[in-house]
Amino acid sequence: MRYLFRPPGTDGAALLALPWHQPLEEWDPSLLLEVPQRGISRHVVRFVAEQGKVFALKEIAEPLARHEYALLGEFEEEGLPAVSVLGICVDRPDGQDAILVTRYLEYSMSYRYLFSRPSARQSVDQLTDTLVVLLVRLHLAGIFWGDCSLSNTLFRLDAGALAAHLVDAETAERHPQLSRGQRHYDLDLARERVGAELLDLQAGELLPRGVDPIEVADSLPVRYDRLWEEITHEEVFRAEEQRYRVAERLQRLNDLGFDVGEVELVTSDEGARLRVETRVSAPGQHRRELFRLTGLEVQENQARRLLNDLRTYRAYLEQKTGAPVSEAVAGAQWLAEVYQPVIDAIPPDLVGRLAPAEVFHEVLEHRWFLSEQAGRDVGTTAAAKSYLRTVLPATPEELTTPSVIARRP
């Protein structure tokens, strides 16, 4: 047998003692981790935990495993929203398929969970739009998915919104650029698969009343075309409008979740023509800023919300001391005196229900709600106590992320 692992090698080394010579279906259950909220796969998939980290193992034909291993590695380097690949095991005895190893996407949710139990925060429209954003990102990167479906997608909460991540890339193809025909063929495949998956949920009485599977599936091309047009079209405007119209367009793209690369402005008799090159990587301005100030690694919307609270706290410190407070000092104090006490207060039996940054975001939302009721600012400490007592316990236990389950005695 041969193993190939991507850096850091320590993650791969921790898995070497597993019985790779045996078919995954025959592995001792004591070696495996039961993931409460897993999706459906046409391949044999098992989960293992080592050193507090969770990995997904998928048995698949070697050519497909090598193809997916290479593509997922490229996606990660480019910042595309996909699972992180760790390695593959090939040349297994008796002609067995290869095993592809990926890192479990922490705090992720399957479509079966989200569609069967939509909350006020995640409507069916929001889920559909999130899938469309993922497909557009991939197409901008020249990636023909070939198997875009809800089953091959995982969703994560990001400050109340949702972010979609590709899970399965075995049918994906990389091109310098996709033609309109390639994009729409991929979109047609997605529409068919999503419709079939929702009909399956409906047959199992897991789809909420009032949700029409065909209507949802048929809305995909409409939503896709609207987003694609928004992020790729050229605009023409008068010279005197140039400054604010360019800024307005760039802000609109950022709000949609796309970074802006090269901006080309061509002037002519008819006005200024704006062409924007849209980056396909996940936007990272707020994530990078929060990491610089606090060392926290979170998602983009979460980072934006936490930065707003940090800046408010910095203004409070300056008002309190009557002197300027540096970003670095404010970041360190906010982390120690505001953020960490909230996270440390989470009861042990509720740890892992939501990502820590998502908990803090929800505490801020709860603070606003309580302050509106009280007619005054109740403060983060009081809001956290109330949230941890009344709101977080209502978060379903099956959402607890597997790495937390693996660390429990």
Q: Which fold has domain 108-232?
A: Transferase(Phosphotransferase); domain 1 (1.10.510)
State yes or no: cis peptide before 36, omega within 30 of 0: no
Domain with CATH 1.10.510 in the chain: 108-232
CA distance 68 to 197: 23
Residue 60 β-bridge partners: 98
Give strand ranges (E) for 52-136.
53-60, 85-90, 98-103, 108-109
pLDDT tens, per residue, the chain with 409 residues? 888 888 776 777 888 889 999 999 999 999 999 887 776 778 899 999 988 899 999 999 999 999 999 999 999 988 889 999 999 999 999 999 999 999 999 999 888 888 766 554 567 888 888 999 999 989 989 999 999 999 999 999 988 888 899 999 999 999 999 999 999 999 999 999 999 999 998 998 888 888 899 999 999 999 999 888 888 777 666 656 666 677 777 777 777 767 666 566 666 666 556 555 555 445 577 888 999 999 999 988 899 899 999 999 999 899 888 889 999 999 999 999 999 999 999 999 999 999 999 999 999 999 999 999 999 989 999 999 999 999 999 998 988 999 999 888 7
What is the pTM for the complete model shown? 0.85
Domain with CATH 3.30.200 in the chain: 2-103
The tally of CA atoms less than 13 A away on the side-chain side of residue 24 is 19
Asked whether 62 and 98 are in contact (CB, 8 A), the reply is yes
Answer yes or no: CATH 2.60.40 is held by domain 2-103.
no
pLDDT in the model for residue 360: 97
